[in-house]
C-alpha cells in the first residue's frame, strides 16, 4: 500500500501512519529500530530497496529524507508512506523537503516519526557530512553508517575516518571486509600455527576496503604490512589479494575474478572459494545486527591506521 501526502507536516504524517496500519492491518509490533536514510535525488529507490531487503531480517521503520536540490522559494514537505508488499517487513516514510523547510534542524522533521523506545540508526548512502556524529541527526542515533565507496576520493575519506571517529560510527567499506576477515582468521586457526612474519595486500585503486583490511592486519598481527593499489586496467574493483609470509612459505588468498578466490598454501591442495563481492543489502543487514559501538572498527581506523605505513606505489599486478 502506498499513500501520498503532498504539502504536509509531521503531525499529518503520524496520523496517516496510524490510519494506514488500522486500514491495512499492518502493525508496528515487532519493529526493532528506526532507520533514517539521508539521500539525494536519483538514489532514493536503490537505498529503499536495500533497506526493504534488510528489513526481512530486521523489521523496522525506515524514514528517507531527501533535500530537493532545485532552487525554490516554497518551503514545502511532501511525504509518502509505504507498507505491506511495497515495504518488505518495514514501514517506509519518504520525506522530500523543499526550500527553507530544509534549512531548519532536520532532527525536527523526524523526531515525531521515530518508533518509541527503539534504537535509531542513521545511514548516509552517498553525500555525507564531515563529522556525522556532530550533526543534529547523528546526535540522536546509536549507530551512524557511511560509505567510503561512494566518495569522489575513497582513499582520502578512509584516511580521515579516525580523525572524526565517535563510538557508534561505521563505514560499509569495513563491512565489505567480513568475508575476507573470516577466511583469513580461519587460515590462521589451522596448522602449522606458525607466526606470520609479514603481510602483503593489494586491491583496486578505487577500493577503500583495501586500506582498511591492511590496517586490520597490521593491528591484529603486529607485523609489517606492505599494501598498495593495482593498475585499474589489471584489476578494476575491490580487493585483489592477501599474502601471509611464514617461515614455511607464503599463504596466498587471491581473486582471479570478482566472484572467486583461490587459496594457495605450502604443502596443501589449491582451493577455489566462492568469494562474491557483498551486496548493499548484505552489508546493511550486517550493520543492523549490532546496535552497540563496533570497538574493533574504532581501533582499526585509529590505532591500526596510525601503525600502517603509506601505500606502495601503484603497480600492475604481475
Ranking 72-76, 199-203, 291-295 by mean pLDDT, the lowest is: 72-76
> DSSP string of 31-44?
--EEEEEEE-TTTH
Distance CA 232, CA 45 (A): 30
Q: Are 29 and 118 in contact (CB under 8 A)?
A: no
Q: What is the pLDDT of residues 233-246, one digit of tens each?
A: 889 889 999 999 99
CB 5 within 8 Å of CB 78 = yes
Which pLDDT does position 42 carry in this prediction? 81
Decide if pLDDT at 310 tops 60.
Answer: yes
Model confidence at 101: pLDDT above 70: no
Residue spans of the domains in the chain: they are: 2-146, 178-287+294-315
The whole-number average pLDDT for the span 262-287 is 95
Cell 501512519 sits on residue: 17
141-183, pLDDT tens digit by residue? 999 999 999 999 998 999 999 999 999 999 999 999 999 999 9
**pLDDT computed for residue 317 by the predictor:** 44
- Check whether 105 has a pLDDT greater than 80: no
Is the predicted pLDDT of residue 318 greater than 50, yes or no? no
* pLDDT value of residue 88: 66
pLDDT at 208: 95
Question: For residue 253, what pLDDT is reported?
Answer: 98
Contact 93, 17 (CB under 8 A): yes
Compute CA distances 192 → 103, 110, 213, 218, whole Å: 61, 55, 23, 21
Question: CA dist 276 to 10, 252, 296, Å?
Answer: 42, 17, 24
Q: Write down the residue that cell numbers 580521515 correspond to.
A: 160
Phi, psi of 77 (to 5 degrees): -125, 115
Chain-centre distance for alpha carbon 259: 20
Where is average pLDDT lowest: 87-101, 138-152, 241-255? 87-101
Length in residues, the chain: 318
pLDDT band of residue 84 (cuts 50, 70, 90) is confident
- The torsion defined by the Cα of 56, 57, 63 and 67, in degrees rounded to 10, comes to -90
What spatial distance separates the first Cα and last Cα of the chain, rounded to whole Å? 55
Amino acid at each position: 500500500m502506498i499513500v501520498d501526502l503532498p504539502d504536509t507536516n509531521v503531525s499529518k504524517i503520524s496520523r496517516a501512519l496510524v490510519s494506514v496500519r488500522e486500514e491495512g492491518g499492518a502493525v508496528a509490533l515487532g519493529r526493532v529500530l528506526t532507520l533514517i536514510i539521508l539521500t539525494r535525488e536519483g538514489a532514493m529507490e536503490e537505498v529503499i530497496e536495500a533497506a526493504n531487503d534488510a528489513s526481512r531480517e530486521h523489521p523496522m521503520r525506515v524514514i528517507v529524507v531527501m533535500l530537493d536540490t532545485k532552487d525554490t522559494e516554497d518551503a514545502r514537505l511532501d511525504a509518502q508512506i509505504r507498507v505491506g508488499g511495497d515495504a518488505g517487513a518495514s514501514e517506509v516514510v519518504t520525506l522530500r523537503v523543499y526550500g527553507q523547510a530544509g534549512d531548519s534542524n532536520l532532527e525536527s522533521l523526524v523526531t515525531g516519526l521515530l518508533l518509541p523506545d527503539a534504537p535509531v540508526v542513521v545511514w548516509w548512502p552517498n553525500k555525507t557530512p564531515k563529522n556525522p556524529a556532530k550533526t543534529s541527526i547523528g546526535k540522536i542515533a546509536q549507530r551512524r553508517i557511511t560509505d567510503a565507496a561512494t566518495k569522489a576520493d575513497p582513499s582520502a575519506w578512509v584516511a580521515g575516518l579516525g580523525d572524526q571517529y565517535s563510538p557508534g560510527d561505521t563505514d560499509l567499506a569495513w563491512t565489505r571486509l567480513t568475508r575476507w576477515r573470516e577466511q583469513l582468521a580461519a587460515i590462521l586457526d589451522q596448522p602449522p600455527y606458525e607466526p606470520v612474519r609479514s603481510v602483503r595486500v593489494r586491491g583496486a585503486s578505487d577500493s577503500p576496503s583495501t586500506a582498511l583490511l591492511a590496517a586490520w592486519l597490521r593491528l591484529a598481527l603486529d607485523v609489517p604490512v606492505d599494501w598498495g593499489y593495482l593498475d585499474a586496467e589489471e584489476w578494476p574493483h575491490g580487493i585483489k589479494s592477501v599474502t601471509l609470509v611464514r617461515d614455511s612459505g607464503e599463504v596466498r588468498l587471491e581473486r582471479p575474478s570478482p566472484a572467486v578466490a583461490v587459496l594457495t598454501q605450502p604443502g596443501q591442495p589449491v582451493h577455489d572459494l566462492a568469494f562474491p563481492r557483498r551486496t548493499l543489502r548484505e552489508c546493511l543487514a550486517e550493520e543492523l545486527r549490532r546496535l552497540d559501538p563496533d570497538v574493533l572498527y574504532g581501533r582499526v581506523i585509529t590505532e591500526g591506521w596510525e601503525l600502517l605505513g603509506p601505500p606502495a606505489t601503484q603497480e600492475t599486478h604481475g
